[in-house]
Structure 1
Amino acid sequence: MQRKPVPPAPDSLDRVREVRDAVPLVPESEDDCCRRLVERAGAHDRGAASAWLVFLAALGAVEETDLGYGRVRDDLDRDDLADRFRENVFLAADALDALGDDTQTSEAVFEAVSERVPRWERTKRQDWEGFWTERVERRLDWAVLLGLAERADGGYRRV
């Protein structure tokens, strides 16, 4: 299953480890985990904490169980995270595929993948294009952090 929530990309993978390490080893409810991320990892609010949990589950850094979320003990290998990102995050592979050897802006990448945004997402917001352009840009920023893309000339290109 692909996940949609993607928090803004941090400056380094150290922040990903910091947030992951705030999740308990023994699964707890989403509410309890969100509270821990706000208190221990400095997540802005419950919504930001929830986005981190879902995203970390997509990356395989935390596990979602019937009881809630629990931290995975495995080390966070950049290549494994990159593979899971591409496979498990909605529009990540599409955005990367839209990148070429030439630099693309996040707006151009959004245009290339916009048909994949579900219809219900389009009707949910009046400015769905702006909302999803930002979401595509977040995916591109994560792609840079994970070594799948690079920033160049005011845009992005595939590595």
Structure 2
Amino acid sequence: MQRKPVPPAPASLDALWRVRDAVPLVPKPEDDCCRRVVDRTDVPDRGTASSYLVFLSALGLATEEGGSYARTQSDPDTDALAAAFRENVFLVAETLDALDAEGPRTSEDVFEAVRERVPRWERAKRENWPAFWTERVERRLDWAVLFGLAAETEGGYVRADA
């Protein structure tokens, strides 16, 4: 199952590990986990902490069962995280596929390339859904840079393997 929530990308992967380490080893309810993440990291609020929990689950760094989360004890390398990101986070594969070798693309350009993949119900629940999803695409691009799947240049984003 692919997950949608993606928190804003931090400056380095060290922040991801700090958030993962703030999640308890013994499953706790989401509210407790969010409180721990906010109290022990630079994550600013509960909403962002909740996004991190879902994101960590997608990456295999946390487990979720019945609304409770727990930290996994695995320490995947960047390549394994990148593979999990591409496979388990909604719209990542399409976002990366939209980056072409002919030149850098802005987050707006990439959004235009993937906009038809945004579910109809997501479009209906927001008045300005294109702006909302352009930001979501940009978050995916920023994480792709951290995982080595893309690079950010002066003109936008390019695939790392291009």
Q: TM-score range by the shorter chain?
A: over 0.9
Question: Post-superposition shift, 1:67?
Answer: 6.1
Contact 1:151 1:157 in 2 (8 A): yes
**Amino acid in the other structure paired with 1:68:** S
2:132 corresponds to 1:131 = yes
**Counterpart of 2:73?**
73
**Counterpart of 2:141?**
140
Question: Post-superposition shift, 1:82?
Answer: 0.2
Identity of counterpart residues, as a percentage?
A: 65
CA distance in 1, matches of 2:112, 2:104: 14
CA distance in 2, matches of 1:16, 1:152: 23
SS in 1 for 2:152: strand
SS in 1 for 2:158: strand
Contact 1:27 1:67 in 2 (8 A): no
Question: Post-superposition shift, 1:100?
Answer: 1.1
**Counterpart of 2:120?**
119
Give the TM-score of the pair, scaled to structure 1.
0.97
RMSD: 1.0
Map residues 42-61 of structure 1 onto 2, 5 A cutoff: 42-61=42-61
**Amino acid in the other structure paired with 1:21:** D
Provide structure 1 residue ranges, at least 5 long, that are not aligned to the other structure. none
2:109 corresponds to 1:108 = yes
Q: Which runs of 4+ in 1 moved over 2 A?
A: none
Give the TM-score of the pair, scaled to structure 2.
0.95
**Counterpart of 1:9?**
9
**Counterpart of 2:41?**
41
Contact 1:28 1:70 in 2 (8 A): yes
**Amino acid in the other structure paired with 2:75:** D
SS in 2 for 1:42: coil
**Amino acid in the other structure paired with 1:154:** G
**Amino acid in the other structure paired with 2:56:** L
Question: Post-superposition shift, 1:135?
Answer: 0.3
